Amino acid sequence: MSPLLANQSPRIFRAPWVIPVTSAVLSDGAVVLDQDSIIAVGQYDDIVARFSDLPVTKCSGVILPALVNAHIHLDLSIYGPVPQESAESSMCDWISSLLKKRMDSNYSIQEIRDAAEKIAVKQHESGVGLMLDTGNTDLGKFQSCSAEIISLFEMLGPSKLATEAAIKTITELPCHRMVTGHAPYSTTPELLKFIKKRSIEKDSIFSFHLLENLDESLLLIKGSGCFSNFLKSGALPVILFQFLELTRRAWWGTYRKQEFLIGTRSVSIAFI
Ligand SMILES: [Zn+2]
């Protein structure tokens, strides 16, 4: 609910189009608002007959429920857009570009936070009322953004040692901090299971990257594609190591023992 609309006396909002979502789109529709609650939605004629004593605010365009952005990385806002280099470049190329940009920079937490807050405000201004934010930085609450933001602390752990380090980190987090895994190619089954179990116990959200694009699909379904090459080349753990600033030993130590999910077609979400 926008702070501009909350805490107002009951009123009718009329618009050329109202999208209730749970029923068909209404032309010349109306919404009745009382404080921070919607108490009626319908055709304007019906609504005004039922609530004839209420003032009417005419709106242009469309009234619809707030949008939900189910996947955003607010802590990456400061790096700006990272365009795909060419039509031929893969998801792995894009990840490399993003990580390079991140590693070449030296922004303070405050700068990262300020950029994130600006993007959150922009999201809200464009109609987003709820965001699921995934990241590696604790951004805290944004005073200037009244959208609801649910934050997940994202963990990676592609080896046994890295998994142990990640689990130690998680157990030291405050109880209320929600945690999630990054992706099947960067997080061992043990770590994913640990995080999933924690999510169930705390009744919190679990969300991770899976089959977002053709390259991830190729890895999981056929054990091939750029992610497979990326993992076999050893480039990924090195980049992730720098990215997360974990110890080289933790990341590199058991990587060579092929503890990854790479090429294991039996991998599935069922085990978590
Ligand atoms: Zn993502």
Q: Residue 252 has what pLDDT?
A: 36
pTM: 0.75
267 pLDDT band, cuts 50/70/90, is: very low
From ligand 1's centre to the CA of 152, what distance in Å?
11
pLDDT tens column, 205-258: 999 888 788 888 888 888 888 888 777 776 665 556 555 543 333 333 333 333
Is 214 in the same domain as 109?
yes
Three-state SS for 77-131 is HHHCCCCCCCCCCCHHHHHHHHHHHHHCCCCCHHHHHHHHHHHHHHHHHCCEEEE
78 pLDDT higher than 50: yes
From ligand 1's centre to the CA of 39, what distance in Å?
36
**Residue 23 is assigned to a structural domain of this protein:** yes
From ligand 1's centre to the CA of 189, what distance in Å?
19
From ligand 1's centre to the CA of 133, what distance in Å?
9
Is 109 in the same domain as 44?
no
Please say which residue of 13, 35, 64 terminates a domain: 64
From ligand 1's centre to the CA of 255, what distance in Å?
23
Q: Residue 257 has what pLDDT?
A: 35
From ligand 1's centre to the CA of 6, what distance in Å?
32
In angstroms, rounded to a whole number, what is the distance separating the alpha carbons of residues 85 and 76? 18
261 pLDDT band, cuts 50/70/90, is: very low
From ligand 1's centre to the CA of 209, what distance in Å?
6
Q: Which residues pair with 179 in a beta bridge?
A: 153
pLDDT tens column, 128-147: 999 999 998 889 899 999 99
Please say which residue of 44, 64, 84 terminates a domain: 64
Is 42 in the same domain as 88?
no
From ligand 1's centre to the CA of 135, what distance in Å?
9
113 pLDDT higher than 50: yes
15 pLDDT higher than 90: yes
From ligand 1's centre to the CA of 157, what distance in Å?
16
From ligand 1's centre to the CA of 128, what distance in Å?
17
pLDDT tens column, 155-214: 988 888 889 999 999 999 999 999 999 888 888 899 999 999 999 999 999 998 887 888
Range of the domain at 153: 68-263
Q: What angle do helix axes 235-244 and 226-233 make, rounded to 10 degrees?
A: 80
User: What is the CATH classification number for the domain harbouring 55?
Assistant: 2.30.40.10
Is 79 in the same domain as 180?
yes
Is 257 in the same domain as 171?
yes
**Average confidence score pLDDT of the chain:** 82
Is 47 in the same domain as 80?
no
**Residue 272 is assigned to a structural domain of this protein:** no
**Residue 270 is assigned to a structural domain of this protein:** no
From ligand 1's centre to the CA of 207, what distance in Å?
10
Residue with tokens 């977002």: 212
**Residue 269 is assigned to a structural domain of this protein:** no
